[in-house]
Each structure stands twice: as structure tokens, then as C-alpha cells.
Structure 1
Amino acid sequence: MPEPITLEPASPRHKKSRFTHNEQQEAGLKPPLVSRVSAPPAMECTQDICGEETQQQRLVLNRFNLYETKTNYYMIGSNQSDNRFRVLKIDRTSLTELNVTEDEAIYSKQEVNDILMKLKVGNKNSGGLKHVLSADGIVGFIRFTEGYYILLVTKKSPVALIGGHYIYHIDDTEPLSISPQNKPEKNSDEQRYINTFKNVDLTKNFYFSYTYDITHTLQHNMTRTSNRLDFSYNEMFVWNHYLLETGFKSLKNNSDWILPIIHGFVDQSKISIFGRNIFVTLIARRSRYFAGARFLKRGSNDQGYVANDVETEQIVSEMNTTSFHFSGTRLFDNPHYTSYVQHRGSIPLYWSQDATNMVPKPPIHMNFNDPFFVAAALHFDNMFKRYCAPIIVLNLIKTKEKNKRESILGEEFVQCVDYLSQFLPEKSIIYKAWDMSKARKSAEDVIELLENYAEEFVADTGFFHSGPEPYINILRREESEKKPQARRKQLRQNGVVRTNCIDCLDRTNAAQMMIGKVALGHQLYALGVIDHPSVPVDSDVVNMLSVMYHHHGDTIAFQYSGSNLVNTLAAYRHTNQWQSQARDIVENLRRYYNNAFIDNEKQEAINLFLGNFIPQKDRPPLWALQNDYYLHNEDPRFRRTKRSYINWWTKDALSPHEGTELDKTRYQLVPRLARQYDDEGDAYGGYWIEYYKPRLFTSFADLFASNMNSTTKYLPNRVSPETYDYSPFTLRFTPATR
């Protein structure tokens, strides 16, 4: 018996359902006599930045209930307010094909209950309708050698709040076989692929957001010139791209069911300044291109993607106003948001290390010497497109060694940058080599040197500030310069600091922390919080930032090498040396063990998860491959046309972003009609729905923002209120007492 679905919506403001009326007639059900008038409209017509009216299709779904019958799965998705619903139908009758049908209609709660009741009655003779589970999102679909599976997020927890939009960490997932006939045998290839796939633990450092695009930087999200109500994700950081594309064909079709997931690190803390709350957010996004384990992914592939490519964004915002929208008449005009972006990635040359000899530091081999540095050219061109110019290359590897190892790469990297730079405008690529290991062993003050470099780098790239500077900064400049000063309207970051050592882990993280520390001073000054763009190293606010970057470094190191950081910032400051040395020995042993025994399994799982290897019956299984070189490099039979060795970059990518105030008339909100329903898709008011949850009793103690880590935890247990300085910017230690 065919399953009864819902009727076509009669309301002209709804799209038609993809489920036909004939299915109900065949089930013996009569259509109701009344038309659908209870459901709200899909979305009011709104105005995009070009002045054209467009029908916004997106409905934010963040609650999911999966039901099953003998022949189909039905996913019921609802919004935060639980008053608008969508239906997804998944056919369960085929092992070889995946048939996913999105019903484009939006339903009311009563209508969804009617649909479920009809499904229950219509399938009474074949087992009825059963509720399988509740979920928080769809990770995607995958097939190995037999049937398809759907992977669902079943548990989440908030880790950050940006502009009223939550970012969640995945705490638990559930894979389900779609076809009831798909029951793999115990020792079959299918079961082995399933076990391999599970080695990608989605409960460790995978994140998503229903309403904020975490695949892009804050600067892009607040200044982009495309339709502001559409999501256009940065596919480089969407780790479930292959899984989503399997079921929904494209991430660009603006489907309500698509939920991009990033891999990396997200942390948020607040600076408490006598009642003012400043949120500091750290977001690290790992590229899914050429991703893998430490010794198995080194250098670059022939498409210009490098190993351990991570974009780290430091967002500092004052939370007097929650929303990105400040005035109430224009979008994204809140002047209290700043961000600074850094980058880390392997040296973009063809090099590798053979870890089969079971030595802690395998020798470095140059696999191929390209006189035109084609792969590096592709890499830097991609960097220009992502960040504009200049690209500041901070190379921290050793420059002089008794037995050449790291310096082999350093010499080749210098030739690479010199060759590529000769065709570019001046200072498009700025190369800075500094032997950080040598400086650590000498009497040099590593922290002071890094801080000096960081000041130069931040001055060269700038940082993003979403609005005009506060008037107090103008008054300070006028007092200092003794003449009237123009008010700065908006700042853009043009360019990025690209930091690397050999693994882009220990030394790189220490350098990025100090760059972040300098950027924090400029960001706080731009917000009018401090009167000088710098913060002391041994202050509460820098201690808080150091902990965030320490966790950030441990997380990225564990993802790439299987262990935490070996050398932390404390090691470079020569503090707690005995404790640091013991920790370094343990982490070195752990890293060595993982490289020798676990990395191959990790790499297989990543290749399977990202769709680099698609199991087929006419090809050898994944574990039978000697290496995965061809999975990450182009087939030589189908190579694309080579670029010019001279004009190797995209010229438009070098043009700096506008630093002046945007034409805000393009972002004005059209008059909004009175709404009967709360709507998360509303560009202006939607953020309130997820954060404040109307019609739901919530205490301040339960809000994420209230329980966030803060600088107040660094206050001593016993203080004298009369003498203690509660400012988080006060120097707590003198250099002599470190």
C-alpha cells in the first residue's frame, strides 16, 4: 500500500509540495475540505543589496524528529519556536540508489500532526509509523559497498555566541542504515569500511551553527556584497561537504537541511571590566583539502593545497548590544565588533619524511625540485584570493644546523619566494625568517622579539573593525598631534601573517599567540576600552588569552600529530622549566607512538570521510593501497592547462579591500510587516529567537553568556577591596619575580 503524504498547499504564498495528491487517493484518503490557512508564509519579500526584490527561501531548522515506515524515512524539521515545519522523505527500498525528496512546503504544527496520523493509519498493515530518534542536525549521507547510511547529530553544546548566534560543539552522533536490507556481515569489506569511517570521531572538535556562517570570517560575513540573506559557504572548511553533496547535490542551493560542519577549534571567554563585558572568541578552521596525519601529509600537493592548513580568527567584541545590527534601520552596522585573522600551513614545496625507520626525527626529503614553483604559485594565489595582499611569511625553522635537515627546506623556500616575488608588485609577499629554536637557547628574549615582529605585522595587514572608531580615540589623537583629526569610519584587514615551522605546531602556536596578543591590544583600543593599543604580558587579560591559545594549539596538534603541544609558550619564557620538560617528554613519546602505529588508520578514515576515496566494486579496497598519492594529486592524463610561469597570480586578488565606510543605503531594511510568527530567517530580528527563546522561561544562570570563562577567575581568593586593582589590564608580576 502506498504511503499517504500530505496535500498540496492551497495557499498561494506557499510552494507546492513535491508529494503528489495521487498518493493520498491511492491510500483511500479524502482531502480535507478546508484550505491551508493556518501555516505562516514562507518568507516575506525582502530587498537585497542591489535593490531587487527576492523571495527568501531559507527556514532555519534546528529540531529534527526521524520517523520510519517499512519503505520510507520521514524527517520532520522544525524551527526554534516549534511552529513551522518542513518534511524530508528518504526512500528505503533501494540499496544502490539514494532518493531524498525535499517537500518545499512549510507546515503548521497541526498540519504536521495530521500528516503523521495519516502515515500511521495508512501503514497500519505494514508495521505502522515509528519514531526513531530526535536529532539536532543532519551531517550527511554515505555509501560504502552496499547500502546508504545517514549520519545525524544527536547531542550538542554551545561553545560560543557571536552577534546572538550560537556556535555548537558536536557531542554525539548516530549513524543509521537507510535500507533495512543493509546488514553487513561481520568480516566483510562493508563492516571494515564502517569501522574505518568511525575513526573520524565527530565528537572531538567538530562545530556548527544554525544561523551564523562559521566557514567565513567575521569581516566577510559583515561586509559581503552578495545577497545578505543567502548562505554561500566556504567549501574549503566544510568537512561534511561530500556527505551533504551525496544527499543534497549542492551546498549552493540554499537548502534548509544543509548544516555545514567545520573541524578545528572554537573557544570563547570574556573580559570583565568593571561591569563591561568584552567577548574574546577564537575560531580555528582546518582545511579539508590535503588533510591528514602528520608524516603522511607534508608540504603541498600539485593543486597548491598544503598540509595542516588552518585559519585562526580572533574576534573581540563589546556586548552592550547583542546583535550585529545596531541602529535598527540598517543591517550589520554595530561598531563594536573587531577581528584579526592568522594562517598556518606547511611549507608549500614537494617534500616528505619517511617515518618507517622508527626514528623520532626522520630526515627530510625534497621529492621534486620545480624551478618554476608551480605548486607554491597556486598556493599563494589562493592566499591572495582569500586574504588579499600582503602575505607575510613568518618562517620559524632552523637556519643553521650541523647536519642539514630543516635548513634544506629553508634554502629552497627562500628561492621559491624570491622567484615568485619578482613578478609581483612590491611587498605583495613579505618573507621573514627567524630561527626561533636558536633564539630560545640563547640569551635573547623570545617574547620581546616576537612582540616586536607582531607589531610590524599588524601594522602591515591591519585588522577588521565593523564601524567608526569611538570619539574618545579622536580626542586622544588630537591631544597628541595638536591638530584636528578625521574620524576613521571602518577598518579592513588586507593580507595575513602566514606562520610555519616544520610541523606548524609548537613554534607556530607560540608565535601566533604573541601576534594575537598584539592584535588584542589594537582591537581593544579600537573599541575604546583602553587608552593605548597594547596590553601587558603578565596581566589577567593576557593570561586568559594565553590559556585560549594553549588549548587552541593542543587541539590542532592533536588533530595533526596525535599529541598535545610539545613546547608551550612557557617553555619559550623559561618559566616552570622542570614541569615543562616532563610534559615535553610525555608528549614526544605520545607523538612518536601515534606516528608509528595509528596515523595510517587515521589517514584512511579522513580519506573516506572527505570523499577522497569512494569505495567501488571494481577497485581495490582502501586498506590495500600502498599510498594515497593519487587521491590528492591530479591524474596526469587529465591535467588542467598550465598557468603562465610569469603572470601566475590573479591580479584582481591583489586589490585591497575598501577601507572607507560602506554604502549603508544598500543594507537598509525594507519596512517589515507585523508578524504572527517568530521567524529565525528574519535578517533583523531572527537572532533573538535562538538566544532569548521567546515564550520559554530562562534564568540568567542558564544562559551561556553568564557561565562563560572570564578574567574574574584570575582574582586571588583573598583581596583587600581598598588596595587591590581589579582591572584585568594591571601588571600582576614584575620581570624580576617571573
Structure 2
Amino acid sequence: MYRGKLQWCSDVIFYMLNETRYIKLLRKMDLTKDYFFSYSYHIMLSFQKNLSNSKTGVAIYETMFVWNEFLTREIHNQLQNTHWTVALVYGFFKQATFKISSQDFILTLIARRSRHYAGTRYLKRGVNEKGRVANDVETEQIVFEDVPEGSPFGATSVVQNRGSIPLFWSQETSRLNVKPDIILSRRDFKFEATKLHFEDLVQRYGNPIIILNLIKTLEKRPREMILRAEFANAIEFLNKDLPEDDRLRFLHWDINKRPRIKAKMALIRLSDVAANALELTGFLHCQLIPTSRTEELQKLSPVSCDDRGDHVKEDLDEMDVEMGNECDKLRGAYCVKVSSVQNGVLRTNCVDCLDRTNVGQYAYGLVALSHQLHALGFVDVDNINIDSHSPLAQDLMQIYEEMGDTLSLQYGGSAAHNKVFSEMRGQWKATTRSQEIIRSVQRFYRNAYMDPGKQDAINVFLGHFQPQEGGPALWELNPDQHYDVRKHGSSPTAERSRYESHYKADLAIACFSLLNCFFYCLKVTLLNHYLVVIVLCHCFMPVITVSLSCNHLTDMKV
């Protein structure tokens, strides 16, 4: 009898401990940072898709970029509508007003991070069986005229995409190796998952799909080269079964092949690629007029679309589009006249889809801005290209750099490596080197020690893992792509002893691995004494953190 009561008490205590740990995991999701929403605009959709919904009269509630979809799913199912919830988008949002030719325009940069296959750098790589890739982010650049409320105005939008290389590949999180080997974890001879990924892109954006691949082509020890060769094989294989007009456009440029190339020259070459891509896909250009001034609609030219992306064309093939009631709350009802739409997308990637990808996306954004301003009548055709050293280009670069840092912190654990941006600004090289090394150490530490907990928090928040009574707890599973069960039914005592041994071992490993990372950075860059002191201070801050963690095991057990 007493034994049964003791067992019951033990189960209750263990259940409470698990519940408290799940609560602590959820608290790691800081909803005050990098999340945004709108009461009057479907912020999870691009501007073009918002216009498509308005034309059909049906609000398509796409959930790919809605990070509270799991938390609001039951509400939607019970009420059969989405009016009582707000879609929460994770990524980056920035809006600023600029002036050119004595005219004001508003630029909005939005990055929407996909909730599918979401996670951290080494724990989410490549593609899954459904064709979802890691670090999948849609970036939209919207430019419209800054006019008094109630006045007609022109608006433009261009969308680009980034995402991990859509193959089954991984890198083992290593506390002793700064640059882990890249492993093709599974051979997909028919590239089924890769095919699903690109079919999804076509469904989202239309054709053509242009792939800008920025990984290395030459290495002493093959790492990225392995991915490049397999990715090229995949594209070649998939294109065999596609009509010529729908084939994937694969562009490769090794931005690191000539490390001494000036940043300006690298930007020029990327801008040439961007200009060709923009010519193929086009961009959205429309004019919005308040319904009270509909007589001005007669002055507008009819919609102009080509044969690319029929599913997009069908949504926007009428001249007049009346915005729904949700827009009434913000700016009043508008009639929309569409001049052109975007069909297809530029997809940029490097290994992490962070540092080099940021440069590629800025180059595309700068070229797109030139054409957007021309479409709105701010610049003439002779001055359509914006000088990369002009104040406007510098302001745009700062916004893209801020976006890159934000996305890098979310996925990689540190701000982005902005060597090209720093060189474009003429920043002192010694300062740039010290900054790059500090960020490398920060990224290494967080990937090795903090990402598993962060990944667990993301999986619980998004509903990818849902605790089941009698089932294994989240921390009893491997923090990998598929969550293979490691062990079942561990007791609180066993859990406590396991964590104590792990944290004590972490202190010694942290000292060794961070020093290893530091000396790796020394091999790459020549440092003066001042920089050594700075980097050493930043290296050993994580060690102090781990040491403090060991002294607070009781708090961390729960």
C-alpha cells in the first residue's frame, strides 16, 4: 500500500518536473523580438498575393509564415474562421522614408521565416522528405510613393528567396572542431525531395526559378565542393523531365574564389546576375486610387502580363481590384490598376544561407530598387542604375545589413559576417577583422552549447513535438532531424545525475574548444596585440557562463 503511494507521489513529482521544464522551454521564445503582426493587412502574404486575394474576394490564410499557427489551430477549427486571431510572423521588418529628385518614397523590407523545418544552424540542414528546406526565408522589398492620405499612389514589390541547399546533408555539431565535415547523409538517386522543393517554389512564385549558388568550388579539403557537385547533378537530373521554358536556371559564382577581389567588383558581378534575374521574373507594379476618385481610373493603362506564371496571371488579370474591408480600416477602399506582376523568383544560397547570401540579396535589392523607382517615375531610363556609393545605396545597404544580422542571429547564433559591407563603407580593416573573429567565436559557442535547447524550444512552440502521456519526454530524444528515441522512462534521479555529469564535462570541453576556435582564427588572420586582448576576453566569457551554470544545477534541472 505504502509502496503504491510512494510510486504515485514519485510519478506526480516527475510529471511536475517535466511540466516545469516545458514551461521554461516556452519562455525561451522571446515574442518581443523579431516577431511582427498587423491588424489590417495580411502581413504573412506578399503584396502581390494580398492583391490576388482582394480580387477573388477570398482571404487565403496561408500558414507557411505564421508562427502561431499551432497555438491558434484549435480556435480556427472551432470557429471556422480566422477573425479572432492575429497571424504572428517571425523574421525582420523595417520601413523607412527616403528622398530622390525632391520626391519622397517609402521603402519596406520584410523577411518572413518559414515555420516548416525551422531551427538552428547545425540541427536543421538541407531538406526533409516533404521538400521543406532549412532557413527558408522570403524577402520582399516594397516601394511606394509617399503622398497625403486619400491621394492616389503607385506601389511596387519584388520578392526573393533564400533557403538551405535542398539535399539530404548534415554537419555534426562539434565542440572540438570549428568547421565540421559536410556529410551527404542520404542518397536520393531520383532527387524526390529536391523535386518537391522546387515544385513548391513554382506553386508559390511561378516560373522561372533562378538559383544563385554562392558556395565554394575549390578547397584544399573538400567540404562545400561536395554539395556543389551534388546540387549540380540534382538540377541536371530534374531539368531532363521539364519543358525548356520551365527548366531551373542554375547560376553558380564562387564569391570566395578570388579573396582579394575588391568588394565593389564583387557587387558589380552580382548586380549583373541580379539584373538578368529581374528581367526574367519582373516585379509587381500597380497604382492605387481611392474609390471616391474612380474617374481617374480611366487614365490608367490596362494590365500587362506575359505567359509566365499562369496561376499568378489568372489572379491579377482584371484591371480593377477593390480592396476588402480590412484595408478600409487603414487607408480606405482602393481600386487597383496592375501594370505588371512578378512571375518566378530568384533563390539565393550559400552553405548557411547567411553571410554570402546577404551580399547576394543586397545586390538584387539594389538593382530592383532602381527599376522600382523608374516604374514609379522617380528616375528616368538614362539614370536607372543607382551608384553603389550613393547615399541611397548606402542607406539600402544598411537596411539589408541589419536584416542579415537579424536572420543570422536567429539561425546561426551571431550577427552576420559583413566583410563586403564593411569594405564598401571603407571601414578600417583591423576593426573588421576583430569583429569577424569575435562573431566566429560567438557563433561557435552558441552552436555547440546553446542550440540544442533553442531547437527544443522551437519544436515545442511550433507543435513539431507534442508531449504525450506515457511517451518519452523531449529531452530523452536526440536533437536531430527525425527525433530518434534514445531512452525511455528515465527517473528524476537519473536525469539529475546525467545533467550534473554533462555540465561538469562542459566546463573542460568549453575551455579546450573555445581555445581551439581562437587559434583557428589566428591562423586565418594576422592580429596585433590589441585585437588579441579583445578576442581573448570574448572567448572566455562563454567559459565563465558555463562555470556559473555548473554552480546553479538545481535551477537548471527543473
Q: Please state which band the TM-score falls in when normalised by the shorter chain.
A: 0.7 to 0.9
Aligned match of 1:38: none
2:348 partner amino acid = T
Q: Is the 8 A contact 1:521 1:534 kept in 2?
A: yes
Aligned match of 2:204: 386
Task: Confirm whether residue 262 of structure 1 aligns to residue 89 of structure 2.
Answer: yes
Q: Is the 8 A contact 1:550 1:568 kept in 2?
A: no
Aligned partner of 1:412 among 205, 224, 230: 230
Aligned match of 1:621: 473
Q: CA deviation at 1:503?
A: 0.2
1:577-614 deviation line (CA, Å, top 9, x unaligned)? 22211110111010001001100000000000000011
Q: Is the 8 A contact 1:238 1:262 kept in 2?
A: yes
Q: Give SS of 2:482's match.
A: helix
C-alpha distance in 1, partners of 2:31/2:200? 28
Q: By percentage of residues, which structure has more helix?
A: 2
Aligned match of 2:134: 307
Task: Confirm whether residue 432 of structure 1 aligns to residue 251 of structure 2.
Answer: yes
Aligned match of 1:685: none
Aligned match of 1:513: 362
Aligned match of 1:465: 285
Task: Confirm whether residue 543 of structure 1 aligns to residue 394 of structure 2.
Answer: yes
Aligned partner of 1:356 among 164, 168, 174: 174
Aligned match of 1:293: 120
Aligned match of 1:219: 48
Task: Confirm whether residue 592 of structure 1 aligns to residue 444 of structure 2.
Answer: yes
Aligned partner of 1:564 among 415, 433, 437: 415
Q: CA deviation at 1:443?
A: 6.0
Aligned partner of 1:503 among 345, 349, 352: 352
Q: Is the 8 A contact 1:239 1:261 kept in 2?
A: yes
Q: Is the 8 A contact 2:25 2:453 kept in 1?
A: yes
Cα gap change, 1:628 to 1:276, in 2 (>3 Å): same
Q: Give SS of 2:96's match.
A: strand
Aligned partner of 1:346 among 164, 180, 192: 164
1:518-553 deviation line (CA, Å, top 9, x unaligned)? 000000000000113221111121111111101100
Q: CA deviation at 1:562?
A: 1.0
Q: CA RMSD in A?
A: 2.8
C-alpha distance in 2, partners of 1:491/1:302? 35
Q: Is the 8 A contact 2:397 2:421 kept in 1?
A: no
Q: Is the 8 A contact 2:161 2:348 kept in 1?
A: yes
1:263 partner amino acid = Y
1:519 partner amino acid = A
TM-score normalised per structure 1: 0.55
Q: CA deviation at 1:422?
A: 1.2
1:694-726 deviation line (CA, Å, top 9, x unaligned)? xxxxxxxxxxxxxxxxxxxxxxxxxxxxxxxxx
Cα gap change, 1:628 to 1:352, in 2 (>3 Å): closer
- Please, which moves more after superposition, 393-402 or 439-448? 439-448
Q: CA deviation at 1:574?
A: 8.2
1:413 partner amino acid = F
Aligned match of 1:582: 434
TM-score normalised per structure 2: 0.72
Cα gap change, 1:184 to 1:389, in 2 (>3 Å): farther
- Please, which moves more after superposition, 561-570 or 292-301? 561-570
C-alpha distance in 2, partners of 1:284/1:502? 19
C-alpha distance in 2, partners of 1:344/1:612? 22
Q: Is the 8 A contact 1:299 1:352 kept in 2?
A: yes
C-alpha distance in 2, partners of 1:321/1:526? 20
Cα gap change, 1:570 to 1:364, in 2 (>3 Å): same
Q: CA deviation at 1:616?
A: 1.4
C-alpha distance in 2, partners of 1:306/1:219? 23
Q: Is the 8 A contact 1:291 1:297 kept in 2?
A: yes
Unpaired segments of 5 or more residues in structure 1? 1-182, 327-333, 475-487, 633-738
2:362 partner amino acid = M
Aligned match of 2:482: 630
Q: Is the 8 A contact 2:168 2:186 kept in 1?
A: yes
1:548 partner amino acid = I
C-alpha distance in 2, partners of 1:186/1:223? 49
1:147-178 deviation line (CA, Å, top 9, x unaligned)? xxxxxxxxxxxxxxxxxxxxxxxxxxxxxxxx
1:436 partner amino acid = I
Q: CA deviation at 1:304?
A: 0.3
Q: Give SS of 2:142's match.
A: strand
Q: CA deviation at 1:249?
A: 2.3
Aligned match of 1:534: 385
Task: Confirm whether residue 283 of structure 1 aligns to residue 83 of structure 2.
Answer: no
Aligned partner of 1:201 among 30, 37, 57: 30
Aligned partner of 2:145 among 300, 308, 318: 318
Q: Give SS of 1:592's match.
A: helix
Q: CA deviation at 1:363?
A: 0.4
Aligned match of 2:186: 368
Q: Give SS of 2:67's match.
A: coil
Aligned match of 2:291: none
1:167-200 deviation line (CA, Å, top 9, x unaligned)? xxxxxxxxxxxxxxxx999961111100011111
- Please, which moves more after superposition, 423-432 or 438-447? 438-447
Q: CA deviation at 1:628?
A: 4.3
Task: Confirm whether residue 231 of structure 1 aligns to residue 231 of structure 2.
Answer: no
Unpaired segments of 5 or more residues in structure 2? 1-11, 289-296, 302-336, 485-558
C-alpha distance in 2, partners of 1:278/1:574? 24
2:22 partner amino acid = Y
1:521 partner amino acid = S
1:450 partner amino acid = L
C-alpha distance in 2, partners of 1:455/1:473? 27
C-alpha distance in 2, partners of 1:594/1:457? 36
1:432 partner amino acid = L
Task: Confirm whether residue 241 of structure 1 aligns to residue 52 of structure 2.
Answer: no
- Please, which moves more after superposition, 443-452 or 281-290? 443-452
Q: Give SS of 1:516's match.
A: helix
C-alpha distance in 2, partners of 1:390/1:255? 33
C-alpha distance in 2, partners of 1:212/1:568? 36
1:364 partner amino acid = I
Q: Is the 8 A contact 1:184 1:190 kept in 2?
A: no
Aligned match of 1:441: 260
- Identity of matched residues, %: 40
Number of residues of Structure 1 aligned to a counterpart in Structure 2:
427
Aligned partner of 2:99 among 272, 285, 290: 272
Cα gap change, 1:449 to 1:606, in 2 (>3 Å): same
Cα gap change, 1:322 to 1:383, in 2 (>3 Å): farther
C-alpha distance in 1, partners of 2:101/2:343? 34
